[in-house]
Structure 1
Amino acid sequence: MHVHSAGVTELAAALGVLRRTEKGQSVADIVLLAAHDLLYAQVPRPLGDSSMRRLAEILVGRGVVPKPGDYDGKWWLWWPKSGRGPCRDCGKTRSLTRYSARFGNEYRYLCADCRSAERQQVAERAGELLDMHGTRSRFPVVPTPASAASTHLTEPAPAGSTVVSSPSDHDWDLYVTRLHELLAALEWAGYDMPEEWETDFDLQAGALLSASLWRGDGCVEIEYSPNRGVLALRPFEDVTGDWPESYSLLKDDIEVPVALSGQQAVAAVADAAGEAGLLDAAHVHVADSAPPEAKQEFTLRRVRRIFLPAAAFRQLPMTDVLREVSENEWLSAYLDWVVGMAGRDVAPDIVPDAAALGVAAWCWRNNTAVEDHHLETDVLMARVNIAVTRITQQHVCPIEGIDWASIRDALMDPQWALPDGTLVRSLFGPGWTEVASTVTAELDRWRRLDHEVLGPETTLILMSIGGSTSYTDSWWGQGRWRAMCRRVIDTATAAGLVLPAPYDQRSPDILLADLDAPDQVPDTVLDWLIDLPEADHDGPRGLRMNDVTRPPQHCWDPYWLTDHNS
């Protein structure tokens, strides 16, 4: 890249200011802002991007925030979404979130308390306007669980309708506890559970608990009606414009009956969430209509989301971590191919089951001698893949990271066997020595990178991306597995194909249930699932080369930029 000398000079000056600040030296706010503005005005991007972003983070921490029209009105593209500093409204130093300039507001950094107060003021004002025009009799106020029992000021129940008793504080606590049980699969898949749920009560519908569940920039709305026994998963819509980087993880509403007690309802929620792709890593791309700067920001934001945890782990600037990563030839190749090409649309989130698939795919099947010693049949290879995935699942934790040593010990255990007792090492014969050596080397390489360069969070993100490419989209171990099997069975039976024995004498539902553990079914059944041997060339397909294995695709559409530029 050719950079004019003025750009280099300005970059050096800005970096000098940044270094002095990060070393704890006293630098005035006006000097920091001047360094930021020099980079904005003089240095070709992306050369100055990382330094400009870091200066913006420091400025937010000092309470220095641009006006809405500054930097052509697009400063939000590089100023941080969140940080810690003085809140605009209360002035207290707290954790802050940036809210966008829509509906008469300006871009602003607010703490949670002030944002809540702002929402309440908007709601109260809206209620007053509606009352003035006679368009409503009551504006609902969102209560907390502690006060919800006293907020049932609803319309009188129609004659003959069922009236639900107002829940006590103890009832609300039970509802929240049960809701967390129902959402266990989503929590394991990386979604942040809210500390508090919005609650409401209606004399006919009963209690309602709701919240937005976030995983990275993806969101799904949750509504739980305990009296009706329904849990609803709904698309997220950024109607206030507060989340410009967000996208919805659903296109359509899903309602799951959850009146059943115990694990049946929990399994039903997991099944529905899995079928919708919510338990797997999200695949998201930028809308074609988005302007170039938005597409660049989306890419840079992905890089930051991947490597900021590594920078925190190493206590180094992210630029230093990225330089070290780029100098590692092997890791750089993984990033170019797996993250940048095969997984270029995979959101950089921590999804434990996807990470387990990533380990199985890139430390067992790829980059090793396993493929050089391919087993006799694809069914046998699938059985070993499943066995590897089961082991890695046991040693992936979203908090503590990946236990590489335990995975290595389990895979190299001479007694490691398939469910039928067949020793895995015996399947490879003399080739096992090379398989064991290369797999061990790959696992040890990742262990060193994890412990010395990347840290557990970035490693989990990279493995989650690695387990979410087209290479693994038909493998057992992902949240959509049961839904994919159901589609294969349904299309096969609709085409008149006979189920494999013994399920030809049983039922499709029993086959589907047994396929939750595909390593336990006979070879003929697993072969049928993979290829549907009796189908003709144009007939229905098994999991191999089947559109059903493709994950849902999501789109980030920065409509406000598109409208602004039109």
Structure 2
Amino acid sequence: MAAALGVLRRAETGEIVPSAVLLAAHDLLHTQVPPQLGDSSMRRLAQLLVGQGVVPKPGDYDGRWWLWWPKNGRDPCRDCGKTRSLTRYSARLGNDYRYLCARCRAAERQHIVQQADRLLHVHDPHQPTSTPAPTLAPPAEAPTGRGVPAPSGRDWESYVIRLEKLLAALGWAGFDLPERWDTDFDPQEGASLFATCWRGDGGLDVQYNPHQQTLALQPFDDVCGDWPESYSLLDDSIEIPVAPSGEQAVTAVAAAAGQAGLLDATHVRIADSAPAEARQEFILRRIRRIFQPAADRQLPLGDLLREVTENQWLNAYLEWVVGMTGGDVAPDIVPDAAALGVAAWCWRNNTAVEKHHLESDVLMARVNIAVTRITQQHVCPVEGIDWDSIKNALTDPQWALPDGTPVSSLFGPGWSEVTATVTAELDRWRHHDHEVLGPQTTLILMSIGGSTGYTNSWWGQGRWHSICRRLIDDATAAGLPLPQPYDQRGPGALLADLDAPDEVSPPVLDWLIDLPDAGVHGPRGLRMHHATRPPQRCWDPHWLADDNP
């Protein structure tokens, strides 16, 4: 192992190490390290080997080498030889596992389509032999005055800029928007831009048609088996009109994405048809995704996990929040969910706030919302969580609710104990963030913490607006009166004002929480409404099937 690590150190200091030597070092480590976790040194050696064009065969390392070999990289492409962003594609349809840039992958797909077309024309008995196969005319040759003129390079650039603005909410919610969009043009339909957007292993197909002024969010289907660890983030397609200019269309896309749960952390279950070992694989993959960013900073993954589990306080959070109540939450960085995590586990829980519970649930809800607003201001997907700023804001005696009421006055003599325990909890997280976990792993842990059943009904999640709409619709369908003044202003005004629920009157917020006139068998308020349950995606690991070659 010392010899293998010595080879890695030589390569990382810039020395040119032959691929055979790198591979031998990698294989030495592989005999010593549990492959289901994958040592960070093995990962770095695998990254170097990818850069030299070395990729295992499908059956190598018991067929599980993909667990630690990188999914993406920036190295010379196998086909074009140019240094670009690369993606790993699986051994399906007669191909080997390979790393390709987006251009070469598009060319490969086009080649497959052309081959399929030729086979269809050769073997189709209904295809007249005297008639050549139809071809599309070049877009630029569209007749003058008919159809849509072919876009110029500047037009395509403007489409991309517009599309990225429309998808801003998804970008903030942790989606990796593509560096390059696939494009198409039809003289009748106009331009089209499309790509798969990823958040972790969850995929989402996006198609933008600027001439038709529509944006479609579609289920991802891994037809060719290029993404064996993936799952779709949607079950049904969503088509959004984006004709209005400015922020109106951006707001419409954010609302549709929020209603579908795309702006919140993903909840994912294992398919019922998956084999028994799938659950163990799912847990191990989740552990790697959570802690690999921390391991890359300073310690091999195995050593880091030992240090984390030996810490009684941190291990308790992992067992209860990450392992049990948030066990189905995908380990992604979702800033708004992380803000809810800080509010839930550094303010409301593990502190004296519950001990000094305020006189009503309405008042507690107002304070919770105020805490969430503060934490949202100090969570960054790149820089991490600004614990000191959150602490200063939450312990400031001048901190007040929107109506001007100081929060400190609500807790009375208990305020000093509240601030002391909140400070202790925030300082503890700050220490582990800076010294052990790092900002990325900490953000993942807080995103999971803000996505449990404990926060399903809290303001601050992407589904909040759609949850309130469902609740109001159920109440009006059951004939329940809306609270004043919305019995006169109507449900639309109530829904709009509930985007800032801490600014509505106490009776309105009380109505929202429990629907006091509903009765035992009537519709439910926010506390118990089934709409607060997040959608759950399905992970179907076909590569674990017994008949997988």
Question: Given the two structures, how large is their TM-score scaled by the length of structure 1?
Answer: 0.87
1:6 aligned partner:
none
1:241 aligned partner:
225
2:112 aligned partner:
122
Distance in 1, matches of 2:201 and 2:181, equals: 20
User: Given residue 300 of structure 1, which amino acid in structure 2 is its aligned partner?
Assistant: L
Is residue 2:459 matched to residue 1:466?
Answer: no
Residues 46-445 of structure 1 correspond to what in structure 2 (within 5 A)?
56-57=46-47, 59-83=49-73, 87-90=77-80, 95-130=85-120, 132=122, 133=124, 134=127, 151=139, 163-312=147-296, 314-445=297-428
Distance 1:205 1:43, change over 3 A: closer
Distance 1:450 1:139, change over 3 A: farther
1:139: Cα distance to partner? 6.2
1:368: Cα distance to partner? 0.5
User: Given residue 420 of structure 1, which amino acid in structure 2 is its aligned partner?
Assistant: D
**Stretch deviating more after TM superposition (468-477 or 183-192):** 183-192
Distance 1:533 1:298, change over 3 A: same
1:386: Cα distance to partner? 0.2
Deviation digits for residues 401-421 of structure 1, max 9, x if unmatched?
A: 111111111111111000111
Residues 480-495 of structure 1 correspond to what in structure 2 (within 5 A)?
480-495=463-478
User: Given residue 428 of structure 2, which amino acid in structure 1 is its aligned partner?
Assistant: R
Distance in 2, matches of 1:540 and 1:171, equals: 51
Distance in 1, matches of 2:103 and 2:433, equals: 37
Residues 493-512 of structure 1 correspond to what in structure 2 (within 5 A)?
493-512=476-495
User: Given residue 299 of structure 1, which amino acid in structure 2 is its aligned partner?
Assistant: I
1:294: Cα distance to partner? 4.0
Distance in 1, matches of 2:187 and 2:79, equals: 37
Distance in 1, matches of 2:42 and 2:279, equals: 18
Distance in 1, matches of 2:319 and 2:418, equals: 25
1:531 aligned partner:
514
1:495: Cα distance to partner? 0.7
Unaligned runs of 5+ in 2: none
1:31: Cα distance to partner? 6.6
Residues 8 and 22, structure 2, Cα contact 8 Å, conserved in 1? no
Distance in 2, matches of 1:212 and 1:439, equals: 42
Distance in 2, matches of 1:549 and 1:236, equals: 25
Q: Helix, strand or coil for the counterpart of 2:215?
A: strand
| Sequence identity (%) | 71
Aligned length: 539
Distance in 1, matches of 2:249 and 2:85, equals: 37
Distance in 1, matches of 2:198 and 2:237, equals: 17
Distance 1:112 1:460, change over 3 A: same
1:547: Cα distance to partner? 1.2
Residues 37 and 288, structure 2, Cα contact 8 Å, conserved in 1? no
1:144 aligned partner:
none
CA RMSD of aligned residues (A): 2.9
Deviation digits for residues 159-198 of structure 1, max 9, x if unmatched?
A: xx97233333333222222222211111111111222222
Is residue 2:8 matched to residue 1:22?
Answer: yes
Distance 1:189 1:382, change over 3 A: same
Deviation digits for residues 498-521 of structure 1, max 9, x if unmatched?
A: 111100011111110000000111
User: Given residue 95 of structure 2, which amino acid in structure 1 is its aligned partner?
Assistant: N
Distance 1:317 1:113, change over 3 A: farther
1:130: Cα distance to partner? 4.7
Unaligned runs of 5+ in 1: 1-14, 142-149
Q: Helix, strand or coil for the counterpart of 1:484?
A: helix
1:3 aligned partner:
none
Distance 1:286 1:259, change over 3 A: same
User: Given residue 456 of structure 1, which amino acid in structure 2 is its aligned partner?
Assistant: P
User: Given residue 408 of structure 1, which amino acid in structure 2 is its aligned partner?
Assistant: K
Residues 77 and 294, structure 1, Cα contact 8 Å, conserved in 2? no
Q: Helix, strand or coil for the counterpart of 2:195?
A: strand
Residues 38 and 67, structure 2, Cα contact 8 Å, conserved in 1? no
Residues 77 and 297, structure 1, Cα contact 8 Å, conserved in 2? no
1:7 aligned partner:
none
Deviation digits for residues 195-222 of structure 1, max 9, x if unmatched?
A: 2222222222222221111111111111
Distance in 2, matches of 1:473 and 1:182, equals: 27
Is residue 2:461 matched to residue 1:478?
Answer: yes
**Stretch deviating more after TM superposition (217-226 or 366-375):** 217-226
